Chain A
């Protein structure tokens, strides 16, 4: 682990009982979901991690505890280091506190996660779908959502499928 990261990792580990893991020189801290806001505030105020570089989620379906991991990647423009936080979330309709109060740019990133993953953010100022139309059903990036697949037309079933295909008319 880079020595620039050690104090921050140590602090989060001891104060918010984060679990440290390292993979390919990248430090990941597993922080309980209810402590994530306190932990990130500490990270920002005491250790100069001034940017929320990325925020996303991973779905571990069919596993349910935890089903999701929220992933936050922070960057410090002073030390040029990245650090990753993960917060486990249980169940099919999970929710977590919004990061917007700490890093304002989380606004759209969380809207995107709500849209594509279906994780609710408590206290979010504008939780609408970001990318898909507002009347869309389901959350496509979940593992149990089908990719969507067009049937391939071969010679033997060309006409069958052609009948079913939508056609634009004038």
Chain B
């Protein structure tokens, strides 16, 4: 086993004020095991009393080598690894990968598959925001929101389990469509969520929005403006809370998002409270999208029928020789897309998630790079936390909603 590698102050002195070296200010380590760093994040803080002067994030405690590992797997197998990256938005990770592969191989997912994808993606967004509202409120001392939010989250996970058999790591969205069609109970289960959710969101709001303690700890803290946010490539709710209505779902629509009627919530304050308001409103919009998609769910196939890239349906394998051969070839050799590189993006609950995929014409991806939204969010921690109290730092980490699996990959 390796030894713990410690930084010396000398190595980091360009990141701190000169007083840190002389000992006038204190350098304090926080994490990687700390209850409110939302995973294994480590922050090295320079403190003047209670005030944070500098904050140096140290990440990589969850570095998993997913990008390298995907290069060693065929396209179908590599998808399994994508689930485990941003583990709060697993469907989205699958989707961005599938969009890239579809672009590369010119597959087209049918209308029904697109609609089901939208429903599941918005449900994923809801569950991610639910966990966020629970944990970030927990960080600020509000316990009951967590219990309520987790209760509702279970309902969504039940739907994931219904369609894919797994609660979190679904791998349900596949290149060219979906793994299989949704079962008959799907519509009723989603309908139930659409019916009860607006009221449940009211409950969370009743607990937090006008709560003076919550407002005291969030208003005016962790501020950022649009210009800085854009320069540092910050996207998602953090950008929208600064007043800029930028959302990939509207700007570069995918999966037929242009057919649905929804708004991009914005706030102008750019602080923790603004981010909270944006996310709560986003939850309402997600419910709206799910409702619309469910109401006009088209019928038809859920997979492209190009047998060179998409496995044939199970029922055909028994009766058609050709289907059997295709199935065998796909699962032993994999498929070979043309040479070239593509970039696909989606809007994850944290911001723009992109995938750069390069193919060299072999059945394995040549290079995979995930552009994840949490990296820029963590990168601006020094800007957000400058001059705040240590206690507020916890609120800031919670408010940008980082997922460490997403930063470290």
A/B contact in complex, CB under 8 angstroms: yes
The answer on a CB contact under 8 Å between B341 and A54 is no
The answer on a CB contact under 8 Å between A107 and B379 is yes
- Kindly provide the distance from the CB of A12 to the nearest chain B CB, expressed in whole angstroms: 18
* CB-CB under 8 A for A133 and B252, given A50-B230, A73-B354: no
The interface-forming segment of B67-75, B201-209, B216-224 is B67-75
User: Quick one: which of A105-120 are within 8 Å of B by CB?
Assistant: 105, 107-109, 112, 116
* A125-B56 Cα distance, complex, nearest whole Å: 14
Interface flag for B108 (CB, 8 Å): no
Query: What's the tally of chain B residues with a CB closer than 8 Å to chain A?
Result: 44
Interface flag for A131 (CB, 8 Å): yes
Interface flag for B408 (CB, 8 Å): yes
- Kindly provide the distance from the CB of A137 to the nearest chain B CB, expressed in whole angstroms: 11
- Kindly provide the distance from the CB of B245 to the nearest chain A CB, expressed in whole angstroms: 10
The answer on a CB contact under 8 Å between A23 and B356 is no
Set of chain B residues within 8 Å of A125, measured between Cβ atoms: 14
The answer on a CB contact under 8 Å between B5 and A133 is yes
Cβ contact of A54, chosen from B7, B60, B231, B369, cutoff 8 A = B369
B 311-345 binary contact with A (CB < 8 Å = 1; else 0): 00000000000000000000000000000111101
Closest to A86 in B: B341
Cβ contact of A166, chosen from B1, B106, B251, cutoff 8 A = B1
Set of chain B residues within 8 Å of A130, measured between Cβ atoms: 59-60
The interface-forming segment of A33-41, A76-84, A88-96, A150-158 is A76-84
- Kindly provide the distance from the CB of B407 to the nearest chain A CB, expressed in whole angstroms: 9
Set of chain B residues within 8 Å of A82, measured between Cβ atoms: 343, 345
The answer on a CB contact under 8 Å between B63 and A131 is yes
23 contacts between A and B (CB under 8 A): A24-B106, A24-B342, A26-B343, A28-B341, A50-B230, A53-B371, A56-B356, A77-B230, A77-B246, A82-B345, A104-B232, A105-B376, A125-B14, A126-B14, A129-B60, A130-B59, A131-B63, A132-B60, A132-B63, A133-B5, A135-B5, A145-B68, A147-B72
Using A77-B246, A82-B345 as known contacts, list a sample of 16 further A-B pairs with CB atoms less than 8 Å apart, ordered by residue number in A. Answer: A24-B106, A24-B340, A26-B342, A50-B231, A51-B233, A58-B358, A71-B341, A73-B343, A73-B371, A77-B244, A80-B252, A107-B379, A108-B375, A108-B378, A125-B14, A132-B63
- B residues in contact (CB < 8 Å) with A: 1-2, 5, 7, 11, 14-15, 59-60, 63, 65, 67-69, 72, 103-104, 106, 230-233, 244, 246, 251-252, 340-343, 345, 352, 354, 356, 358, 366-367, 369, 371, 375-376, 378-379, 408
